[in-house]
Amino acid sequence: MILEKKPLITIQSQYHGREGIKNAYDKYLKNGRVVFTTFHQNYSYEDFIEGLRPDSNSNRFKFKAVPGVFKRIVASALEDKNNNYVLIIDEINRANISRVLGELITLLEDDKRWGEENQMMVVLPTSKDVFVVPNNLFIIGTMNTADKSISMIDVALRRRFSFIETLVDLSSINDVALRNVLEKINERLKKDFDDGTDLLVGHAYFINKTENDLDLIMNQSVIPLLYEYYFDKTSKVKALVENSINGTDFEIDGSATGRIRIKKK
């Protein structure tokens, strides 16, 4: 949509489903029009914008300013103004946002982008380069709202991004039995957590699986997650699981020690 400047329905038709879209994404990733990075607790301004690094080409021990992920894609977008560029930041809430973005946070605003009415520039403290953020660069941040660190997101960052919730998509699960299990799980979670949607179990665990995979899905992924939600209260987890697998070929494994498990009848 962003890269090809076309509606989603046109893109889906053009590339014939997810596999075609994934191939197109890989192509853009390879030619640098899409850049993917992941934030974490130790991610820094030097990683994202620029930092001093030892100069391996020098005969003497000295440092030079090396561009980070963001500065490199900005340079590409500025040189190719006819095309859009996308920076994808996974786990955007896991880094210290103020520390990573520094003085550049203002440049993310729509009207402060280079080419817009109130375009702005800054001088980077390390290299002394003049720096702008072009209006053909789009920044997409992803996060899991169940992650407790979401509360740490800077208010200044919240004002500069549009937040789009990705909902559980039952239609993406082909197996009817699995679809019913997930629906029952999330109905109970919504009831127990005041109709909140942050803690719903996602459909990814169930995609391209069949009912025969239910024990693996539940025992290895869903049940451990439920224990976290219910603070290790086995009775609550057991009640939810029993209700959700009712009508399938599986049951609670009474011989299991430790946390509950399910098994085929």
98-121: burial string, b at 16+ Cβ within 10 Å, e else: eebbeebbebbeeebbbeeeeeee
pLDDT band at 2 (very low <50, low <70, confident <90, very high): confident
User: Which among 138, 148, 110, 118 is positioned nearest to 1, based on CA atoms?
Assistant: 138
Place of tokens 């596999």: 19
User: Which residue did the predictor score with more confidence, 159 or 194?
Assistant: 194
Query: Averaged over 188-195, what is the pLDDT?
Result: 90
Burial of 240 (0-12, 13-18, 19+ CB in 10 A): buried
Q: Of residues 243 and 161, which shows the higher confidence score?
A: 243
Q: How far is the C-alpha of 172 from the C-alpha of 222, rounded, in Å?
A: 18
pTM: 0.80
Angle 8-15/18-30 helices, nearest 10 degrees?
A: 100
Please, are residues 33 and 85 in contact by the beta-carbon 8 Å criterion? yes
The percentage of the chain sitting over the pLDDT mark of 70, rounded to a whole number, equals 93
| pLDDT at site 227 | 95
58: pLDDT strictly greater than 80: no
- What's CA 221's distance to the chain center, in Å? 19
pLDDT of the residue at 103: 82
Is 152 a residue whose pLDDT tops 70? no
